[in-house]
A and B are shown apart, each in its own frame.
Chain A
Amino acid sequence: MDKTLDLKYTYTEKKDTRSGFGDGLLEAGRKNPNVVGLCADLIGSLKMGAFQKEFPERFFQVGIAEANMIGLAAGMTINGKIPFTGTFANFSTGRVYDQIRQSVAYSDKNVKICASHAGLTLGEDGATHQILEDVGMMKMLPHMTVINPCDYNQTKAATMAIADFEGPVYLRFGRPSWPIFTPADQKFEIGKAWHMIEGTDVTIFATGHLVWEAVVAEAMLREEGISAEVINIHTIKPLDEAAIIASVKKTGCAVSAEEHQLNGGLGDSIAQTLIRNNPAPLEYVGVNDSFGESGTPTELLEKYGLNAENIVKAAKKAIARK
Chain B
Amino acid sequence: MDKQPLAQLTKISSQVRRDILRMVHAVQSGHPGASLGCTEFFVALYFNQMKHDSNFNMNGAGEDLFFLSNGHISPVWYSVLARSGYFPAEELKTFRKLNSRLQGHPATEENLPGIRIASGSLGQGLSAAIGAAQAKKIDKDDSTVYVLMGDGEQQEGQVWEACMYAAHHKVDNLIATIDFNRQQIDGPTKDVMDLKDLKAKWEAFGWEVIETFKGNDMEAVLEGLEKAKSLTGKGKPVLNLLHTEMGYGVDFMVGTHKWHGIAPSDEQLENALGQLEETLGDY
Q: Are A78 and B134 in contact (CB under 8 A)?
A: no
Of A63-71, A205-213, A240-248, A281-289, the one contacting chain B is A63-71
Size of B's binding interface in residues, CB under 8 A? 40
Q: CB distance A75 to B135 under 8 Å?
A: yes
Q: Check A70 against B108 for contact (C-beta < 8 Å).
A: no
Chain A contact residues, majority secondary structure: helix
Could you give, for residues 56-81 of chain A, a 1 whenever the CB lies within 8 Å of some chain B CB and a 0 otherwise? 01101011010111111111111111
A107: interface (CB < 8 Å): yes
Choose, from B7-15, B94-102, B158-166, B182-190, the stretch at the interface. Answer: B158-166
**Cross-chain contact of A79 among B141, B157, B158 (Cβ < 8 A):** B141
Which residues on the B side are within 8 Å of A81 (C-beta)?
Answer: 135, 138
Q: Which residue of A lies closest to B109 (CB)?
A: A106
Kindly state the separation between the CA atoms of A80 and B109 in the bound complex, as whole angstroms: 18
Are B135 and A65 interface neighbours, CB within 8 A? Answer: no
A294 located at the interface, meaning its Cβ lies under 8 Å from any Cβ of chain B in the complex = no
The answer to whether the Cβ of A214 comes within 8 Å of any Cβ in the partner chain is: no
Q: How far is the CB of B216 from chain A (nearest CB, A)?
A: 29
CB distance from B108 to the nearest CB of A (A): 5
Q: Could you say which residues of chain B place their CB within 8 Å of the CB of A70?
A: 127
B124 touching A106 by the CB < 8 A rule?
no
Say if the beta carbon of A102 comes within 8 Å of chain B: yes
On whether the beta carbons of B134 and A102 are closer than 8 Å, the reply is no
Chain B residue with Cβ nearest A143: B109
- B127 adjacent to A102 (CB under 8 Å): no
- A80 vs B120: C-alpha distance in the bound complex, in angstroms? 24
Smallest beta-carbon distance A130→chain B, Å: 25
Q: Enumerate chain A residues within 8 angstroms of B133, measured Cβ to Cβ.
A: 75
Task: Judge whether A98 is part of the interface by a CB distance below 8 angstroms.
Answer: yes
- Whether B23 sits at the interface, judged by CB under 8 Å, is no
Instruction: Provide the B215-243 mask, 1 if CB < 8 A to any CB of A, else 0.
Output: 00000000000000000000000000000
**How far, in whole Å, are A65 and B156 apart by their CA atoms in the complex?**
13
